[in-house]
């Protein structure tokens, strides 16, 4: 008997809009590496591959940036729901369906593993499962990832996958492989499979897992119930390996709590990067905890090559924080901005997230937060609330929304503004977006 073989699939995404802000199948490729080290043959089909030659010939090339972000190929789809008032365009992002099918046919797997992302992306996952079921009808399919974790019952019903892996993949996969009479690797899951195609434009690092805070609007504590500090040495070796084998110079952190416990993990890691003399760029698609941005860490981040900082500010209202997150004190924000600027980050490289559209939130609170943050000479970005199943705010969101959030995950997409009420209308939201934009424009003009 030859090697057992697994087919890993990153499905296409169906959404109203999509931008590649370091969107990589990191967890799936960690499983791929685990199986490969355990003696498996591993095939990977990436339906989001923006470099695919046949798709590019048919749809044209997509705009990408040197920092590893950019667009995906896009083909319009019919709007999937009854008219909801606003004109919205729905699309499929990824390689052409016929290219997807051809790539799936090239593999002869013993098991198929498919990842999932946002709950409202589930239609792309259905497409992937249905396509692969036609091509490999007798091969077991397991679906994991965020949607599978947050809505396992919906996932099972909507996709018809044989297995739905909710939460930590390793114990569930060990059980599934055993049940299928397939060999189970003895080692544990570690770093991702090193595929040059995936990692050349940008690598992913995740040092710590989860977050010790419990903000009532956030998915992190639902996806990972406890905070597990990582190891500086291991994270640095993974970075070095990606740099050496795939030529990666851009790295994005997937951590939810990068700076928590920073003396033990992040600072030793960043010191290793500096000592190595490697010329790298670091990005933070997730916000960091502003209360930990002291002078020392801000300076180290500049020296290591951090090109941007995103701060999870959320609101200038103390009432907001006592109700929802209680994660930092009033003086932490001014101190963080001061430390970052003194360390050498310019105004345009610091983005402050402000949460908008929580249940019963008044738009004037968001307006005050935008005005407050903008005074510090930083970019302001509205983070529009998406209701996440399993969070403390989920039940309240379901109760007050006029949209059927429990029946249709597409409505979790913040494009629907599901928490609209008299104190925060769609017009108010448009006004706030314009307000943030005007402050950011002024900031840009000042910098020129």
Q: Choose which of 9, 28, 218, 356 interacts with ligand SF4 (CB under 6 A).
A: 218
Q: CB of residue 215 vs ligand SF4: minimum separation in angstroms?
A: 3
Which span (31-39, 78-86, 164-172, 208-216) binds ligand SF4, by CB under 6 A?
A: 208-216
Give the chain's radius of gyration (CA, Å): 22
The nearer residue to ligand SF4, 109 or 221, going by C-beta atoms, is: 221
Q: Say if CB 356 and CB 381 are below 8 A apart.
A: no
Write the DSSP symbol of residue 138.
T
CB contact at 8 A, 197 and 48: no
Among 256, 365, 384, 420, binds ligand SF4 (CB under 6 A): 256
Stretch in the footprint of ligand SF4 (CB under 6 A) among 191-199, 218-226, 346-354, 399-407: 218-226
Q: b/e for 342-356, b at 16 or more Cβ within 10 A?
A: ebebebebbbbbbbb
From the list 119, 121, 149, 171, the residue with the least C-alpha distance to 224 is: 149
CB-based burial of residue 329 (10 Å sphere; 0-12 exposed, 13-18 middle, 19+ buried)? exposed
Out of 198, 205, 215, 242, which residue is the one contacting ligand SF4 (CB under 6 A)? 215
Among 40-48, 199-207, 213-221, 347-355, which window interacts with ligand SF4 (CB under 6 A)?
Answer: 213-221
Nearest Cα residue to 142 out of 27, 299, 255, 41:
27
Is there binding between residue 127 and ligand SF4 (CB under 6 A)? no
Nearer to ligand SF4 among residue 218 and residue 239 (C-beta): 218
Q: Is 305 in the site for ligand SF4 (CB under 6 A)?
A: no
Q: What's the min distance (Å) between Cβ of 309 and ligand SF4?
A: 15
User: In the structure, how many helices (H) and strands (E) does the chain have?
Assistant: 17, 14
Q: For ligand SF4, which stretch binds (CB under 6 A), given 36-44, 137-145, 217-225, 411-419? A: 217-225
Nearest distance in Å: CB 408, ligand SF4 = 25
Selected from 206, 243, 327, 412, the binder of ligand SF4 by CB under 6 A is: 327
Question: Which C-beta is closer to ligand SF4: that of 46 or that of 220?
Answer: 220
Q: Residue 343 or residue 383: which is nearer to ligand SF4 going by CB?
A: 383
Which residue's CB is nearer to ligand SF4, number 192 or number 312?
312
147 or 353: CB nearest ligand SF4: 353
* Residue 172 C-beta-side C-alpha neighbours within 13 Å: 16
Q: What DSSP designation does 66 have?
A: T
CB of residue 220 to ligand SF4, shortest distance in Å: 4
Which secondary-structure segment (H or E) carries 53?
A: helix 53-59
State how far the Cα of 120 lies from the Cα of 285, in Å rounded to an integer.
20
Report the largest interatomic distance among the alpha carbons of the chain, rounded to a whole angstrom.
68
90 DSSP β-pair partners: 77
Is 221 a binding residue for ligand SF4 by CB under 6 A? The answer is yes
Does residue 191 touch ligand SF4 according to CB under 6 A? Answer: no
> Using N-to-C axis directions, what is the helix angle for 26-37 and 169-179, rounded to 10°?
50
Catalog residues that contact ligand SF4 under the rule CB under 6 A. 211, 213-215, 218, 220-221, 256-257, 312, 325, 327
């Amino acid at each position: 008997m030859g090697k057992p073989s697994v087919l890993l699939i990153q499905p296409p995404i169906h959404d109203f809009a999509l931008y590649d802000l370091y969107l990589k199948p990191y967890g799936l490729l960690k499983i791929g590496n685990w199986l490969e080290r355990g003696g498996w043959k591993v095939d990977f089909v990436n339906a989001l591959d923006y470099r695919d030659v046949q798709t590019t010939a048919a749809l044209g090339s997509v705009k990408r940036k040197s920092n590893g972000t950019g667009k995906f190929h896009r083909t319009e789809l019919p709007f999937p729901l009854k008219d909801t008032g606003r004109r919205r365009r729905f699309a499929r992002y990824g390689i052409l369906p016929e290219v997807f099918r051809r790539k799936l046919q090239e593999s002869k797997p013993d098991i198929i593993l498919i990842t999932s992302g946002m709950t409202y992306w589930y239609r792309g996952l259905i497409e992937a499962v249905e396509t692969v079921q036609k091509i490999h009808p007798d091969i077991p399919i397991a679906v994991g990832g965020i949607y599978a974790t947050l809505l396992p019952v919906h996932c099972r019903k909507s996709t018809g996958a044989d297995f739905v892996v909710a939460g930590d993949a390793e114990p569930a996969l060990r059980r599934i492989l055993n049940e299928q009479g397939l060999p189970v690797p003895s080692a544990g899951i570690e770093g991702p499979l090193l595929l040059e195609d995936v990692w050349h434009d940008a690598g992913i690092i995740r040092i710590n897992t989860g977050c010790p805070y419990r903000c009532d609007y956030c998915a992190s504590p639902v996806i990972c119930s406890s905070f597990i500090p990582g190891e500086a040495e291991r994270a640095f070796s993974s970075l070095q390996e990606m740099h050496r084998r795939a030529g990666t110079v851009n790295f994005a952190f997937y951590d939810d709590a990068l700076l928590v416990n920073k003396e033990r993990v992040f600072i030793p890691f960043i010191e290793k990067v500096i000592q190595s003399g490697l010329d790298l760029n670091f990005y933070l698609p997730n916000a960091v905890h502003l209360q930990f941005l002291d002078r020392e860490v801000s300076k180290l981040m500049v020296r290591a090559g951090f090109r941007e900082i995103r701060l999870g500010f959320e609101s200038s209202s103390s009432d907001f924080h006592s109700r929802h997150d209680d994660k930092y004190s009033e003086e932490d924000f001014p101190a963080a901005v001061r430390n970052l600027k003194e360390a050498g980050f310019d105004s345009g490289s610091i983005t402050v997230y402000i949460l908008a559209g929580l249940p019963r939130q008044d738009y004037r609170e968001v307006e005050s937060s935008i005005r407050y943050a903008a005074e510090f000479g930083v970019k302001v970005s509205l983070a529009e609330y998406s209701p996440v199943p399993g969070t403390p705010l989920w039940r309240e969101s379901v109760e007050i929304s006029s949209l059927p959030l429990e029946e249709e995950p597409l409505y979790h997409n913040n494009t629907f503004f599901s928490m609209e009420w008299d104190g925060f209308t769609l017009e108010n939201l448009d006004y706030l977006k314009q307000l943030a934009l005007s402050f950011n424009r002024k900031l840009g003009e000042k910098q020129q």
